[in-house]
Structure 1
């Protein structure tokens, strides 16, 4: 099953993509409702979807296929980490801690865009994309989503979507020098789409170890820049869900990105391997980024005009503290 949200004649629709058309969910269900109810409900609704109510895909504008409850973005492709950690000679410096657990950060669920959208980055000299696959969490009756083991986490895999974690690398590098982040280097835009493909449909692509053995490609202005297999992840998607739920909770509508694939899944990886040379060049206005993942479809985004920030003053430096005396 493919699940989508769209705009048609000024009205938002939510439902299934069937053949070359979109069909609303029966009974007024929304994507959020279906994610909460789980795959069984999605299958039952699909059996009752009325193809006579279909609108051609060519007549609608696809939106992001869900409004995420949260977005966690991991970094689980070793080759990508090698490129991002490379020294000035292009030699990788992957720390031992990376191998111990799947690291992630939270990004902004309020700046999510669907395929075909123009995104407006901050003023940056190093605009980049990140080619990722992401898992969408669904509800499981009687389960809270807390402290899941891997087997239980697998039941929460509702489906998958292509994800582009747009990144301003110069802003990201500056803020991470303070041992926090990434934040403003990434929270301006995340693209998701074109639709959610349910776990049952993607099961045919899972290998014996539980990885999605599908090909992922990214093109800039129709030139192939990077390509990899999603199965080169160091942890499976259920393992990512289980880790995210440790002493915490995952809920329906959470999106967990795989992190950038290797072999050119982003420009910064290639810059690192080249010893810092900006080849290929950073993205600029009107560049088109097209991502294709086997079984999931095609996600397109175009770079729009940059946003220039309002000025902020530097930090107020407090005076040196006076000597403190113990009292009492």
Structure 2
């Protein structure tokens, strides 16, 4: 089952995708995060909507927002080839750190920065090195605490495409303080067209993940491709680690991290900064992931930087 969230004159409405790329509205007043804790509720609502077909809209004509508003977003690092490419920005001889294989590290990103699949994306204020990052996110269905990897499998309700836009110059500047990333990841995180229930991906299980082709393009030119099953950590491992010593709750978003070839920073690390410029206003970035859907975003001007300064001097 694939669930979208489309804009109407009366506000956003969830809809289930049916044959012929048609969206059938669910009963108004429902939000995906509120439905996730009850396994059968989404299916019941979708079944009733498909039986009645009260409001039907072509996917091509629908104005889509993000399929959910996650209360939290933890973004992990699970693709070793991506990590290897990025670290070469700072040291050409660098390889994947040993810690990569010990823990699936993550940072907390900004849930207020979530945008829909076709939204305009503003460059982060003050950034000259704006970048995209192609990922897939797992959405928590049932909450839990201190889960095992085996238990965590049943706590994942479904998946979404993620394009996590990043201001690389701001990110690398702030991380010199041994914290972050923070503002470098704070402006825009785009979610794909659909929340795709976990059962939809069962036929594509491969190793720790799924055999799904991932692709990102800028202005119609393919920049990178990969397969989701190149992850070194499973989504259930990410959920288990996220729940260690704390809770995960319905709607929490767990990002896979960037796939190999899925961002400019990795290309810059492998081939030099001249290989491809940073994103500029007017650029159009598209991502596609088999089964899960796509995003398409036009890059627009940044808001002006509002200056701040420390009260004390060095």
**Normalising by the residue count of structure 2, what TM-score does the alignment of the two structures yield?**
0.94
**CA contact 2:31–2:68 (8 Å) conserved in 1:** no
Written as runs of structure 1 = structure 2, the 5 A alignment for 1:279-290 is 279-290=275-286
**CA contact 1:16–1:25 (8 Å) conserved in 2:** yes
Deviates more, 1:282-291 or 1:300-309: 300-309
Written as runs of structure 1 = structure 2, the 5 A alignment for 1:160-199 is 160-199=159-198
User: Aligned with 1:37: secondary structure?
Assistant: coil
310 and 87 in structure 1: CA distance in 2 versus 1, 3 angstrom threshold: closer
Deviates more, 1:117-126 or 1:154-163: 117-126
Structure-2 separation of matches of 1:310 and 1:26: 43
Residue of structure 1 in register with 2:80 after alignment:
78
**CA contact 1:83–1:90 (8 Å) conserved in 2:** no
Deviates more, 1:87-96 or 1:119-128: 87-96
Q: Do structure 1's residue 228 and structure 2's residue 226 form an aligned pair? A: yes
Cα deviation for residue 249 of structure 1 reads 0.8
Structure-1 separation of matches of 2:91 and 2:111: 37
Structure-1 separation of matches of 2:93 and 2:274: 16
Structure-1 separation of matches of 2:269 and 2:117: 28
Structure-1 separation of matches of 2:89 and 2:112: 35
Aligned length: 310
Residue of structure 2 in register with 1:24 after alignment:
25
Residue of structure 2 in register with 1:58 after alignment:
60
Q: Do structure 1's residue 240 and structure 2's residue 238 form an aligned pair? A: yes
User: Aligned with 1:14: secondary structure?
Assistant: strand
Residue of structure 1 in register with 2:266 after alignment:
269
**CA contact 1:15–1:31 (8 Å) conserved in 2:** no
10 and 91 in structure 1: CA distance in 2 versus 1, 3 angstrom threshold: farther
Cα deviation for residue 4 of structure 1 reads 1.4
282 and 27 in structure 1: CA distance in 2 versus 1, 3 angstrom threshold: closer
Task: Give unmatched runs, 5+ long, in structure 1.
Answer: 319-328
Residue of structure 1 in register with 2:253 after alignment:
255
27 and 268 in structure 1: CA distance in 2 versus 1, 3 angstrom threshold: closer
**CA contact 1:112–1:189 (8 Å) conserved in 2:** yes
Residue of structure 2 in register with 1:295 after alignment:
291
Residue of structure 1 in register with 2:201 after alignment:
202
> Which protein shows a greater Rg?
1
**CA contact 1:212–1:230 (8 Å) conserved in 2:** yes
User: Aligned with 1:66: secondary structure?
Assistant: coil
Cα deviation for residue 210 of structure 1 reads 3.8
**CA contact 2:76–2:105 (8 Å) conserved in 1:** yes
**CA contact 2:13–2:28 (8 Å) conserved in 1:** no
Structure-2 separation of matches of 1:315 and 1:202: 53
Cα deviation for residue 88 of structure 1 reads 6.1
Q: Do structure 1's residue 130 and structure 2's residue 130 form an aligned pair? A: no
**Normalising by the residue count of structure 1, what TM-score does the alignment of the two structures yield?**
0.90
Structure-2 separation of matches of 1:85 and 1:164: 20
Cα deviation for residue 161 of structure 1 reads 0.4
**CA contact 1:91–1:273 (8 Å) conserved in 2:** no
Task: Give unmatched runs, 5+ long, in structure 2.
Answer: none
Cα deviation for residue 6 of structure 1 reads 1.1
Cα deviation for residue 295 of structure 1 reads 0.7
Structure-1 separation of matches of 2:74 and 2:172: 19
Cα deviation for residue 226 of structure 1 reads 0.3
